């Protein structure tokens, strides 16, 4: 572009911008020269964020149902969630996955007065989205709709939750879909390692260690779904949260009217703790793949343990912070042994959770990567972390803390979960102070208490002949761990979970 034309265009744009900006904004605009020369010269105002108190948003309907409300008038939308206590923890031993299947059919199976297609069409017409899903301990139903269709959407939503039809045809379709998914769960080694790790960690008789089979899918009937529905879906077992464009008192009145006549029952009991103990050692599952998948871990702590915050900070340094973590730097950046390597602490509310490190590496370098991870775990027990690592991890926890409350639906979900799980009062208000008070000595203490390589299990999925001997330089072999002892677990039939014959192929 010729220089005169370029200068003319720049002048035109400048004039247009000057005309569009109000006087105060035009005056506030600064030339590029005001930008600091280096990023570290940028100055930020202090972060001033006070976490909201749950009590500000907590209300109670005349029937005693707890409702968290957060009006917001930015958009003409409403989000309503109902959290019911009870999930996979209620599955019968012979039908793992029953609650999850029932939750899906509450949404997909119509109601006692409307066919599934009628429900789908009504939701499409209203531009309303409804989903029902369950986890280990809770089942949540969520509705997103326009503010001006809320009443009609709410009526349909509550009818669906109170009077599910469990349509026989939709149930058969869902079961066929589930069988197709089961057939594929040996295709990906990630599915195998996850399944076998849960069995090792929680035991095959605990709900966290059980998985559906073809037999359990066949045993999933409308009657059994109705039984578990009656236990979970009622006002005595639910907490409601609603955010969006509404008047608070009007919303409470509409909810009270919608829930009228819905019979209460007893709240579901807490999940039962597993009785199985993780036995330390090396475990292997055969799979003909070029890269072995590895999990290293042990049972850990509960959510409200006083050591939970220091252990989370320690894990951030060890393997939880991506490229700045020790595991990622050493295993990937320095040694080039894995694309991704990380660790995580996952506390449980009702019983201790787990610590876990994961990676995948070429079969011959699995042993070396495992040795590096185990050495790094041992190192945080033997030596204090650096001051820089500690400050970086603490700042990350403090600076990202407000994200917990970045949207009203997310904030209310937090409050609902806290109430259901009896989180100690004032937890969020004191969280940053507790983080700031963590010392290097605290991290070494919790490492020695909660991270013990001798109590960990190493689970490997891959070609053992290629894995066992280690890398070409013999920096490590699988004989370096637990005296060279290894427990070879069978690859399981994807439909029955019974052991396949040695060298057997997964049926298609």
Q: Spell out the domain ranges in the chain.
A: 55-259, 281-488
Which residue(s) pair with 345 in the sheet?
355
User: What's the Cα-to-Cα distance from 320 to each of 98, 271, 439, 442, 446, rounded to whole Å?
Assistant: 33, 28, 18, 18, 16
Task: Write the DSSP symbol of residue 37.
Answer: S
Local structure of residue 353 (DSSP, 8 states)? -
Most distant pair of Cα atoms in the chain: their distance: 81
Burial class (CB in 10 A: 0-12, 13-18, 19+), 363: buried
Residue 498: Cβ-neighbour burial (10 angstroms; 0-12, 13-18, 19+): exposed
Q: Which CATH number describes the domain made up of 281-488?
A: 3.30.830.10
Give Cα 255 distance to the centre of its chain: 29
Q: Is the pTM of this model over 0.85?
A: yes
55-259 under CATH 3.40.630.30, yes or no: no
Q: Edge-to-edge strand order for the sheet containing 129-134?
A: 58-60, 66-71, 238-244, 77-85, 138-146, 129-134
pLDDT by 10s per residue, the chain, length 508: 444 334 444 443 444 444 444 444 444 444 555 788 888 788 877 778 999 999 999 999 999 999 999 999 999 999 999 999 999 999 999 999 999 999 999 999 999 999 999 999 999 999 999 999 999 999 999 999 999 999 999 999 999 999 999 999 999 999 999 999 999 999 999 999 999 999 999 999 999 999 999 999 999 999 999 999 999 999 999 999 999 999 999 999 999 999 999 999 999 999 999 999 999 999 999 999 999 999 999 999 999 999 999 999 999 999 999 999 999 999 999 999 999 999 999 999 999 999 999 999 999 999 999 999 999 999 999 999 999 999 999 999 999 999 999 999 999 999 999 999 999 989 999 999 999 999 999 999 999 999 999 999 999 999 999 999 999 999 999 999 999 999 999 999 999 999 998 755 444 4
Rounded to the nearest 10 degrees, what angle do helices 427-436 and 387-399 cross at?
Answer: 160
- Same fold for the domain at 55-259 and the one at 281-488? yes
Residue 388's alpha-carbon distances to 157, 303, 328, 443, in angstroms, are: 52, 27, 17, 14
Burial 166-178 (b: 16+ CB within 10 A, else e): bbeebbeebbeeb
**Pairing between β-strand 341-346 and β-strand 486-488 as defined by DSSP bridges:** unpaired
User: Phi/psi of residue 346, each to 5°?
Assistant: -125, 85
């Amino acid at each position: 572009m010729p220089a005169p034309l370029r200068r003319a265009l720049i002048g035109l744009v400048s004039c247009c911008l000057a005309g569009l900006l109000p006087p105060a904004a035009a005056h506030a605009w600064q030339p590029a020269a005001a930008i600091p020369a280096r990023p570290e010269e940028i100055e930020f105002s202090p972060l001033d964020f006070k976490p909201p108190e749950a009590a500000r948003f907590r209300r109670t309907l005349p029937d005693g149902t707890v409702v968290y409300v957060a009006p917001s008038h930015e958009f003409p939308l409403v989000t309503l969630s109902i959290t019911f206590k009870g999930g996979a923890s209620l599955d019968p031993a012979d039908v793992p996955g029953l609650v999850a299947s029932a939750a899906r059919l509450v949404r997909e199976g119509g109601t006692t007065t409307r066919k599934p297609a009628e429900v789908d069409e009504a939701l499409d017409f209203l531009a309303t989205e409804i989903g029902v899903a369950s986890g280990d301990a809770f089942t949540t139903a969520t509705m997103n709709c326009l503010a001006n269709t809320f009443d009609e959407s709410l009526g349909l939503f509550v009818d669906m939750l109170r009077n599910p039809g469990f349509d026989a045809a939709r149930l058969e379709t869902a079961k066929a879909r589930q069988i197709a998914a089961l057939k594929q769960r040996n295709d990906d080694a990630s599915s195998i390692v996850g399944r076998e790790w849960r069995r090792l960690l929680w035991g095959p008789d605990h709900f966290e260690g059980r998985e559906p089979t073809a037999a359990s899918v066949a045993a999933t009937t409308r009657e059994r779904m109705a039984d578990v529905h009656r236990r979970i879906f009622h006002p005595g077992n639910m907490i409601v949260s609603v955010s969006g464009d509404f008047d608070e008192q009007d919303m409470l009145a509409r909810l009270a009217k919608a829930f009228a006549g819905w019979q209460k029952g007893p709240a579901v009991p807490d999940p039962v703790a597993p009785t199985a103990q993780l036995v330390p050692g090396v475990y292997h599952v055969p799979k003909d793949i070029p890269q072995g998948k590895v999990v290293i871990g042990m049972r850990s702590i509960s959510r409200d343990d006083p050591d939970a915050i220091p252990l989370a900070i320690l894990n951030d340094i060890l393997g939880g912070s991506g490229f700045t973590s020790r595991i990622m730097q050493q295993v990937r950046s320095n040694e080039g042994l894995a694309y991704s390597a990380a660790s995580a602490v996952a506390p449980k509310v009702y019983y201790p959770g787990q610590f876990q490190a994961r990676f995948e590496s070429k079969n011959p370098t699995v042993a070396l990567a495992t040795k590096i991870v185990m050495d790094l775990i041992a190192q945080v027990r033997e030596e204090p972390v650096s001051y820089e690592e500690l400050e970086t991890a603490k700042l990350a926890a403090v600076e990202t803390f407000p994200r917990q409350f970045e949207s009203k639906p997310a904030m209310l979900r937090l409050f609902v979960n806290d109430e259901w799980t009896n989180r100690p009062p004032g937890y969020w208000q004191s969280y940053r102070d507790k983080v700031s008070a963590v010392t290097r000595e605290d991290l070494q203490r919790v490492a020695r208490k909660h991270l013990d390589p001798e109590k960990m299990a190493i689970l490997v999925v891959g070609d053992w002949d290629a894995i066992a001997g280690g890398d070409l330089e013999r920096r490590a072999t699988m004989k370096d761990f637990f005296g060279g002892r290894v427990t070879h677990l069978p690859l399981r039939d994807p439909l029955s979970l019974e052991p396949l014959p040695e060298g057997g192929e997964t049926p298609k």
